[in-house]
Amino acid sequence: MNKTKLWMFAAILVICGVCAIIYCTNKKDDTCVVNPTDDSSQFVNITDVVPDAILEIRYFSTYNFVGTRIDGYEEPIALLTKQAADSLKAVSDDVIKQGYRLKIYDAYRPQKGVDHFVRWAENINDTLMKSYFYPDLDKSVLFPQGYIAEKSGHTRGSTVDLTLFDMATEKELDMGGTFDWFGPESHPDFCGNPETGEYTGDNSKSPKGRSITPEQFQNRMILRQAMLRHGFKPVDTEWWHFTLKDEPFPDTYFTFPVK
Query: Domain locations in the chain?
Result: 1-33, 38-254
**Mean pLDDT score, 201-210:** 97
pLDDT, mean over the chain: 90
Mean pLDDT for 69-87 is: 98
Architecture of domain 38-254: 2-Layer Sandwich (3.30)
Task: Give SS3 for 165.
Answer: strand
How many helices (DSSP H) and strands (DSSP E) are in the chain? 6, 12
Does the pLDDT at position 144 exceed 50? Answer: yes
- The secondary element (H helix, E strand) that includes residue 100 is strand 100-106
Q: Indicate the pLDDT class of residue 34, thresholds 50, 70 and 90.
A: low
* Strand, helix or coil for residue 36: strand
Judge whether 172 counts as a catalytic residue. no
Intra-chain end-to-end CA distance of the chain, in Å: 40
> For 54-70, what is the mean pLDDT?
98
Q: Catalytic: which of 75, 215, 238, 247?
A: 238
Residue 205's contacts (CB-CB under 8 Å, 6 or more residues apart) are 184, 187, 190
